[in-house]
Every structure is written in structure tokens, then in C-alpha cells.
Structure 1
Amino acid sequence: MSLRIRLLGTGPSQGVPAVGGADGAGNWGDCDPAEPRNRRRRTSALIEAPDGTRLLVDAGPDLRGQLLDNRISGFDAVLLTHAHADHIAGIDELRAVNRSIGRILPVFGTEKTLGEARQRFDYAFRPATTGFFRPALEGRIVAPGETFRLGPMDIELFDQDHTVMRTLGLRIGSFAYTTDVIRFPAESFERLRGLDTWVVGCLTTGTNPVHANLDQVLEWVAELRPRRTILTHQGDRMDFATVTARLPAGVEMGIDGLVLELP
């Protein structure tokens, strides 16, 4: 089965640039403002199967702009990897998707993640209104170690350590998507063997208590040896030109809007 993955956002919780800067035009950290590939929205992705079935992974605060820029008006389900704001704060934007597809939208997540989403967006999980004047979502609880089916896709879920909470990684065939992780339990790491393409969170060239850094990711890549690795959830120390010069063959920085085609 072939897959198409579109990286809707590849940035950290505050985006790049963050609000601020001496002139109010943004705080870019080490990133060159003149390089458009350094401009990053909050991390999210859309996975599409050959029959057109689509899964949105995470719904952050940039969701409206991401869907408009990528001309995406609908999808079949949402998977929330965890409940941090940069991954669920765009839930209200899903009402426009309800209108576009004309039905309630299933949202997959762990019991904890869906519980937190319901607390913050209670109105989105109530019975649907005529015309979808608020989001109409149906929570579907999943857990690490489970596989759920969406269209022709078998979506395998596994546990990740994000220090402050657990997150979900996912694998579909020879593709894996693992954002917001600093350590993999041994069983989860084994599920990453034999990959063709891996999208993995890599916040910084320095150290961070809750996110993997570049040295960690390159160590993982050296052991797992996927054909292609794309970095996501990249912070403001990840200047495109500077980091690209350090990367070995087969590893690249993710760019907002990047489309991956898997045979």
C-alpha cells in the first residue's frame, strides 16, 4: 500500500519565529529570518491512503492556516498524540471540517488525552448541532500496543516517553511518525526497525529535558537505519542551513508543506 504524508507543521510549541523580537517581528533564535524554510508552524501531519482515506495527526493552534495553505477541506479521522496545547488547541477549527464532510469526526487518543481534550473543549464532544456550529467529535479510546484500522490503513500505536507525560507514536507499514519524545521504551524502539521512512521529533542542537536533540536522533538513526529520516518539531536553534550541513545522507530537516510519497 502506498502512502502520501504531508507535513503541515514542523515547528515547536511556540512556532518559529516565536512572538516577540526587538522590533516585534518575531524571535528567531539561531534561525536565519531570510531563509523561508526556517518558518515553522506547530507540528502536525496528514496521512493519506491510496483510496483517499485521510488521517490528521494532531490539531494544533495553526490548524486553520495549515488546512487553507495545503487546500485540505476534509479528512476521515484525527489522532491526538497527546494533550499538550500545541497538539490540541486547534480543535475548534474542526467544525469547518465537520461542515465539509457532513458528519461527526472520530478522534482517536488515549483515555488520558481524550479526557483532557474533553475538559478543555467539552462543547466539541456534545451531540452535533444542525449546521455544525460547534465541532462534532466522537472520542475513540486507544492505547499503546493497539492497532486500529482506518480505511485500508492498519495504524499501529506505541508508547513514548515525553518526560512530563506519555505520548503515542504510530507506524503504518514501513512508515513511522514519532513526535514529542525523549526516550523510547525498548518494545517501542523495536517497532521502529525495518522502516523505509521515519518522521521523528528533534527539537534542538543543544539539550532539552523533554525532547530529543540532534545527537540523540542521529544515534537512533545509526542503529535503526531507515532509508529516509525527516526531522520535525524543530525549534529555533535548528537553523536550516547550519543543521543541514551536519546531517548524514538519508537524514533531512522537515519543511512545512513537505509531501512524502511512500511506495
Structure 2
Amino acid sequence: MGEIFSRIEHVRTADEVVQQVESLILEGVLSSGDRLPGERELARQFEVSRPILRDALKALEQRGLLVTRHGGGTYVADVTGEIFARPVMDLIASHRKATADYLEYRRAMESIAAEFAARRATADDRALLHRIMARMEAAHVKGDLVEDAAIDVEFHTAIGECAHNIVLLHTLRSCYRLLSDGVFHNRLMIFTLPGARDELLAQHRAIHDAVVNGDPEAARSAAARHIDYVERAMVEADRFDDWRRVSRLRLSQRSVGGRRVTGDAAE
């Protein structure tokens, strides 16, 4: 982690340290699971005494923003995961309408986020998007579906960060948490559909290009088209998954040459 903490000006108190860390979490600079520097290094960056720093860290822990893990180290708490409680996540996973509503929500919010990002992205934001896009293209060449899916979430999170709207950022992060936690079980199957990986890469490239080129309308349209495609692909992936389930049942039920077939191929 680079030096993201800055010298406390004027009156050096624990409250000033608390406010700075809170702001970094709120702005998305610090994310869930990020490890803070050690006590000595933090005190140096803030230019406060270690007793003041300890008071600040204790206050942040009491507010549920930081946690101290076994074995040492202070980390940003899992603040994003609190927005969708596990019972709600389970309901979303088991109800088809919730999936449709989820995508409808994403279409609206990501369109706005992409538009804002195109208007507001800084040079550093654009550099971050370039790096993520390069990694996405490298993963595409490797054909690693798990890596594809992980970078997909990272890409959309970065677009939300580039929008520079705190509420939008955190609602989108909680939204993407449903993907990372495997609530939508057919998510990875989308990448196995014929031509899907190429199409998804092109869609992400279109969003990326519109944002870095500062074209709000193109960014908004590209984001909406992307979710439209994902919605169609999820339906197709569900159908394919059902076909595969039925095919496996048939294969296990029938016999070849008097022997029952129980695996993926005849004996």
C-alpha cells in the first residue's frame, strides 16, 4: 500500500485520524480486507504520536470499520457485505424474479456510473482502467474463466469508482458482492456459451473506450447494451444448464451393451 495517509494538520488528535480513515473508506480508497500499515508507519504518515494513533484505531474498531486479525495486522472491515444480509442473498439466489430485478437495477445504475465516469474520470482513473483492460485482455487469451469473472467484477467496480459518487460507489460494490459470493450460479456458464467471451470482451472495451475518451452518451449506451446482453446470456445459460442436467439423467439411466452408463461416457 502506498502512502495514502496524510499529515494531520493543526490540532493532532485521535478524532482527526478517525475522520481521515473514515473518508478514505467512504471514498473507496480503502476497501474491505485492505491491510493498514503497521503502527509505527501509520504514526509517521499521520505525524501523530503512537498513543493518539492507538486511540484512533480503537475508535474505528468500535465503529466496525477496522478489525484486528489473529496473528497481527489491522484491516478494513467487511463493510460492503453488511448491505445484503445472508438471508436476503439466499432469497435473491432462489427467486427468478429477483435475478431479473437485479439486472434491471444494474442496467440503470451502471449506465449512470459509466456516464458519470466519462464526465469525471481523472488521468489516474484512466490509467487504472487501462491497466484493468490490459489484464482482462491477457486473461481472455489464457482462457481462464475464473480469472475472466474476477476481472469482470474489478472492471465494473473501477467504473463505479471513476464516477466519483460515494453512494453510487458503495451500492454498486454491494451489488457486485452478489456476483463474487456466487449468488448467481450460472454466472460462469455465460463464459462457456459460444462466442460469449469474445462478445463480453468487446463490450467491456466499448465501455472502457467511451469512458477514457470522455464520451458520456457512448459510455451510457455501451453499459446498457452490456447488461442487455448479460440478461439474454443468463437465460440461455439457464437453458443450457437444464439441457445438460437432463442429458446426464438420460445417460445414467440407459444401458449400453447391457451395462448401465453412470459416467460422462459409455464404458
TM-score range, shorter chain: under 0.3
With the length of structure 2 as denominator, give the TM-score of the two structures. Answer: 0.26
Bigger relative contact order (CA 8 A; separation at least 6): 1
With the length of structure 1 as denominator, give the TM-score of the two structures. Answer: 0.26
Instruction: Report the structure, 1 or 2, having the larger helix content.
Output: 2
Higher alpha-carbon Rg: 2
